[in-house]
Amino acid sequence: MPIIKHTIPQLPYGYGDLDPHIGSETMRLHHQKHHKAYCDKLNELLADEPSLVELDIEKLIIEVGSAENDKGIKIRNNAGGVFNHQIWWPMMTPNPSKPGDILNKMIAESFGNIDGMKSEFIDACSDSFGSSWVWLVVRNKTLDIVQTKMQDNPLGLSVGYPVLGCDLWEHAYYLDRRNRKNDWVENFWKVINWKEVENRILMSEGEV
| Rg of the chain over all Cα atoms, to the nearest angstrom | 17
Strands, E assignment, the chain: 132-139, 142-149, 161-167
Domain ranges of the chain: 24-91, 101-203
pLDDT, block means (10 residues), the chain with 208 residues: 92 98 98 98 97 96 95 98 98 96 96 98 97 97 97 97 98 97 98 98 78
Q: How far apart are CA 202 and CA 43, in angstroms?
A: 30
Beta bridge partners of 178: none
Cβ(43)–Cβ(78) below 8 Å? no
Cβ(67)–Cβ(73) below 8 Å? yes
Beta bridge partners of 167: 133
The string of DSSP letters for 14-36 reads: -TTTTTTTS-HHHHHHIIIIIIH
The per-residue pLDDT for 200 is 97
The per-residue pLDDT for 139 is 95
The per-residue pLDDT for 206 is 59
Give 163's contacts (C-beta < 8 A, 6+ positions apart): 135, 136, 137, 138, 143, 197, 200, 201, 204
161 backbone dihedrals φ, ψ, rounded to 5°: -100, 120
DSSP secondary-structure letter at 47?
Answer: T
pTM over 0.75: yes
Average pLDDT, the chain: 96
Q: How far apart are CA 86 and CA 34, in angstroms?
A: 12
The per-residue pLDDT for 207 is 58
Q: For the domain 24-91, what is the CATH superfamily, name and number?
A: Fe,Mn superoxide dismutase (SOD) domain (1.10.287.990)
Topology annotation, domain 101-203: minor pseudopilin epsh fold (3.55.40)
